[in-house]
Chains A and B, each alone.
Chain A
């Protein structure tokens, strides 16, 4: 019996993905666990491992690399030695129900197919105008529930589903990617579910600037970035702020404490395809230089679309650094279900009035903490930010375990 290879769901909300390409040639012998094809989901490109063994057979009408197709679309078959090509009725698209949270990469079906065309729609109908607008806005109309007669998808349905404001003036459609849609969806979720409040404070950055210079002077193989140092400092401060070290649970009804051995801190990375937030794992127990090495790797993979979902799941807090753009204070959006995000501003050289009323040159940076007021109150958030600022000022000592 041939094993069907279908487009798996990579997360609970995924409806479609971009089939990047096969990692095996047609006719190749595939073993269980071998990478079989690459799939771009909402968050990342992922290598999909084979759950079965057999000889890879790709029907002529199978989805071509680069095509965006619904979850459940048949991609190919794994055949046993000497097994005939599958035949029979056209395969039906199997769309995993919304209740299934875990991916179901190799759904099986009793109906087999060969060269029969593969249905790729969910059988909904759209007006020509809705299709045109959907293409312009990068919306997949096939996933929409139409409000027109007999469920026909209309322009209004497409526009409602679109996440980008479209100028009414005539222009070339830019289109949006699945990644962009996913980012927008996540940001909207955050804004809808949290009560964001942003606090800003000034920190004395001389300590971390000096620290980085010392790494350079010491000809360290890796020079930690500001973000790396900040991640370490936060991990040192967090145990004293259990109210910050929490996440909303999957039911979104209660807060769950994040234990100190799971201080995975997210780093917001700007990539050509949009914002991604890989996690530096277990920052509290990892030396700074190892963190620096790891974050470099993560950033590199993020920019090449090679992050796995696991590398982006279950953080405690996120750092967003816009300092290199000369930004000081800003209002970062919480990476839900986390409850706080720290924004790093530019390090500025400016005049500082000392405690003894002298004016001296100093290095300052603005810290912007957005917290979820639904989760904690302002005072504990402010206390956390004060501690972070203090840690920045005394970075070397804190990192050495003070």
Chain B
């Protein structure tokens, strides 16, 4: 079906100068609004110019991308937003923050690396956060803001807040997959989102005319069935008008809009960078003549502004300029006088402060259920009490999930909370990030953890770092779950574990349970804590039954379980490997070898203390791990035990791990790349003999 929207081309070409502006009759309201827009643009311009000076003087430690020349866009759009609306920005985001209401002193102090900065010195220019006013961050990565704005929109839709999510992005983002995935998701769910493309014609130094098969960004809206509007990005009044319409439509449930603002940055990509290897001085000069600030002022003075003559109007604009100049100087002085952050606080805010754990159920009664039933119970119970929880994934709606992870929940909680997705892992993981930032609690069901990898950057760069980048002002309650594990000829795209990789990421919790009881308790904790959690379920143990306590309980992260007590050797294992090791313990016991099994349950945080305690007792450590050993979970444990428990070791630490090899298909090949019970038993015997 052809889409119902044509490109709305409001202004085909930007006007070359304010002289060309039509004479507009300003009403009283328009007059007030014009002065307000002018003031915002002046704040942006003067702050940016002050930052440029500060950069030259060495007061700014890292990168500084200014918004000079593009002020009309942030100003025109943000004039319609309240604190409840969320803005997701780019690396060139000072203007968005200021337009959204951030005081210049917080911005300047952040670029100076001071503790009074908006991110307390953890972010700098590309990590500007002020969630209290709906400024959800600038970003060093191009395009994730598009997905995060969809998340802001999803939260609004789910919790019926009426808020909109706004993504500002450059022309460089529109050829990135996130643009495609984000616009499509926003379209199919009619999310209250405004996509604002600031087409300044260069992605850093690469011209958009070169990088785009179709140079019209606005025309791409049609590909997703949403309105695409092109506007002169230096005309603040026109942007204000069109953004107002789009935002009103979004709030009314009319879905998203793509607004392409043609503009130009008149300073270099970043302060201190050369500018004329890819564009000419003449081109830059031409665009300086189209300055949006001068243009508004000229238009206003040339037209009757609420009955005032030109001289009277000039007095108003001059007053604003002077007031802003004072404001910016005060902001700089404030920033310079501010202290730098205490070095010993560098690792604060990686995770949210822990919440108290409810007491264990009084009744000791248990039921015997499968691992899958246990996680389904946990999810359903939490969804019943927390309306902010929603699940996204492929086939998790009516179908109830490939691994029955959501069976029956659709009927209980409906389609918005059990949301089937297109096959766009990066898209919906990025959406989850924005949703978590704006007050809902997404659960992303990947089916297979191998599919997580398409969303890897969203997890590592955005979700995991968000709490830290915002110095704890944002929470990131996102649960990412998926199946891992080799078996039944699933082959290499349906069998990876990857937890070692994710264990290297600060800010992430990584959970790998081995029993029904642990799975339920840990999932409950995951659904209540404010940290992002990667919850990995081994496919081969989903149907293993075990006792699960009646009543509500949580299991804290970072607490290992002693699966079996023994005297001669400590075996550390996760998930399926716990069961494989258990299967050989009786045989070994008959031969006089007493095995202690420790299941850390969470890869991150890792309970080193319990492992060390066990090694102190036994003097021997074997780590049994299904994925390849190289740089993995087993290597980390070995390193920690050597560091802290060297004098307890009566033999070298040994590992039994999977082969350094993708997972093969044929059973004859598959069985030799993953540790088998016989391998484990032999390794235990060998180590006891060492």
Contacts and interface: CB of A to CB of B under 8 A. Distances in A.
A130 B620 CA distance: 12
Contacts of A148: 650-651, 689-690
B690 A128 contact: no
A281 interface: no
Contacts of A358: none
A55 to B, nearest CB: 44
Contacts of A40: none
B567 to A, nearest CB: 11
Given A148-B651, A154-B651, A128 B689 contact: no
Nearest to B642: A128
Contacts of A156: 650
Interface string A149-166: 100101110000000000
A273 B467 CA distance: 64
Nearest to B687: A149
A132 interface: yes
A128 B690 CA distance: 13
Interface centre among B619, B646, B648, B689, by most chain A C-beta atoms within 10 angstroms, is: B619
A127 B650 contact: yes
Interface string B676-690: 000000000000011
B647 interface: yes
B490 interface: no
Contacts of B646: 128
A148 B686 CA distance: 11
Nearest to B646: A128
A127 B646 CA distance: 9
Contacts of B651: 127, 148-149, 152, 154
Chain A interface secondary structure, helix, strand, loop or mixed?
Answer: helix
B306 interface: no
B647 A129 contact: yes
A236 interface: no
A395 B690 CA distance: 65
B contact residues, range? under 10
Interface in A137-180: 148-149, 152, 154-156
Chain B interface secondary structure, helix, strand, loop or mixed?
Answer: loop
A129 B690 CA distance: 13
Contacts of B242: none
Contacts of A128: 646-650
Nearest to A150: B690
Contacts of A152: 651, 690
Interface string B598-641: 00000000000000000000010000000000000000000000
A246 B650 CA distance: 48
B689 A129 contact: no
B332 to A, nearest CB: 58
A6 interface: no
Contacts of B647: 128-129, 131-132
A148 B647 CA distance: 17
Given A129-B619, A155-B619, A149 B689 contact: yes
Contact of A149 (B619, B648, B690): B690
A132 B690 contact: no
Interface string A115-143: 00000000000011111100000000000
Contacts of A154: 650-651, 690
B565 to A, nearest CB: 15
A132 B648 contact: yes
Contacts of B690: 148-149, 152, 154
Nearest to A132: B647
A130 B650 CA distance: 6
B108 to A, nearest CB: 55
A155 B650 contact: yes
Interface string B519-544: 00000000000000000000000000
A182 to B, nearest CB: 27
Contacts of A131: 647
The 9 closest A-B pairs by CB, nearest first: A129-B650, A132-B647, A127-B650, A155-B650, A129-B619, A149-B690, A128-B646, A128-B647, A128-B649
5 contacts: A130-B650, A131-B647, A132-B647, A149-B651, A155-B650
Interface of A: 127-132, 148-149, 152, 154-156
Given A131-B647, A132-B647, 8 more contacts: A127-B649, A127-B650, A127-B651, A129-B619, A130-B650, A149-B689, A149-B690, A154-B690
